[in-house]
Chain A
Amino acid sequence: MNELALALGAAVDRTPDGKFLLTLQFAKPGEFAAGAPEGGKGKVSAPVWVVSATGKTIFEAERNLAMQVSRHIYWGHLIVLIIGEKAARHGVREVVSLFLRSPQPRETMWVMVTEGEAKNLLMSQPGLEKSSAQAIGFLARSKAGYSVELKDFAAMLASKGGEPIASRLGSLKMVTTPSLGQKTPVEEVRITGVAAFKDDKLTGWLDPSETRGLLWLKGEVGKGVVTVPCPGKPEKQLSLEIIRATTKVIPEYRNNKVSFTVRLMLEGDLEEEQCDENLTKPETIKAIEKELRKDVKQKAELALSKAQGEFKADIFGFGEAFHRAHKREWRMLRDNWNEEFARAEVRISVKAYLRRTGLLTKPATLRE
């Protein structure tokens, strides 16, 4: 164990001369032990070490990198694979090949795509965690965006009825606080949406609100917040927490035309309101539910129009749903599915229910 260099994060970029730039983030085990100096005085070294090397293939880059690393590189604990924008636009099949083929890296590592250079994200130093790879891992697990594990990413790549997507990562410069002993600005990584692929090439980005729409259409919402304007008072807002959400995609094939009906259902609890509605009245509840329906439908349509219009790529996996329902027709359509998808009519219907209003029915701070 003492002879291993534990890689926590890997970043793959493309150099201008068409080579791969592999960056690995290694943990310095001494810094992770209990009782290791926790920041503050006497701390000179970062808990991780970031090294890069280039090569014609990623494996060659890894060999070149091994010449700088005194220990045996160990991939078994790799948390995250970040693909730089350039490499992603060039095609990711050749990137994931090594990580799937080699026995050491896990299929459960997160796959992320970043704008610009992926290397920079591994260099960033997070505030809470000791390494940015761990920070990204925890972010991914909290399902802030659409987090994809390597095995799912590979499955999406292999599927004809759905294009791959992965989380989009950005970084955020934090201000320096010298009082806390920080000398250089802390850079925090954050999830900024979703990267959409067409075949294995990056084709565009979805921003956070489009990502919500994507999650609705993929049926991956689970939890989250919906903020809608108060009924009758558009300048005030209401926030609900989603406690249950379901998505049903019903594919149809009539007169050589593909169409989909998507039925969304959500149940939510009211968490915060800025207006002073009387929530004991059924009409008020009905009105809020109407606003909810409007909001969810609008977000879903936003994502849909981007996928059908701008990307012409089925990032929702509707093809798989179509395949399940119409096996025979699928065989004719599968080879140019993306065009069919772009032409398809998608009807979205939303049912929304406000289930509980928390401990209050009226704002407690209201003067009667």
Chain B
Amino acid sequence: MTVRSRLVGWALFLVVAAGGIAFAAVLAYAVVSALKPPGEVLSVPLRWWPSQVDWHNFALPFLETPFARYYTNSVFVGVVVTLLNVLTCTLAGYSFSKFSYPGRNVAFVIVLATLMVPLEVIYVPLYSLVYDLGWVNSFAGLIVPAGTSAFGIFLMRQSIDAVPDELLEAARLDGAGVLVSLGRIVVPLVRGPMAALALFIFMMNWDSHLWPLLVASDDEHRTLPVGLAAMQANNLGAAGVPMMMAAAVLAMAPTVLLFLSLQRRFVEGVAMSAGIR
């Protein structure tokens, strides 16, 4: 490599790195704004660091709004939806991959076809159905319709396809039943994809706004996105800014921390969800 090309490479890298810092600056701005006294959040000229760090802002959402309730709801719904998806998708993936029965391929194709139809297209009749079931403002309305995913079934089928049939055949000859083979042989071999699926579903669910807004608009069932949006609508003035920033930071923390600790799985999950890899 010539000196010149190396310099160009470094210059390009510096520009890209500066851009990355600018991207992250938005999040840093949220964190420092959550630590400022209300009078300093919109000070001109902009001051990055507060004159005194005001940790009290992080207590405000819990003291003045049902934030704790929203948070608990989001964790509860997120965990249950994730477990449900891992269960239904692993079972369906195992079924589509390792058994043959009439209608299997048709069912799989129909599942894949639903990938083409986002929630945004079907939520009006879906709401009407959930309304008829009496699930409006209930956890069932939040959880059950989100209990499986086409991407998850596709992912688990692909992953279980890679489990050698000979292993399952040997287990069968040893007298292992269908579910024993799944638990003893298949699951240990597809733990990676199961973890990627769990992470992906949890993060999607944590971000979910439109559906919870429709089926869980009362304070008792509101999840974080719905609750946070309602809090924002009630705190439009500058006085509420530090509390809202603290609430937003707390709302982002779980998925950002999950991402930081499981970055590779997350990246794999996103790439797989788009059909790359």
The answer to whether A and B assemble together is no
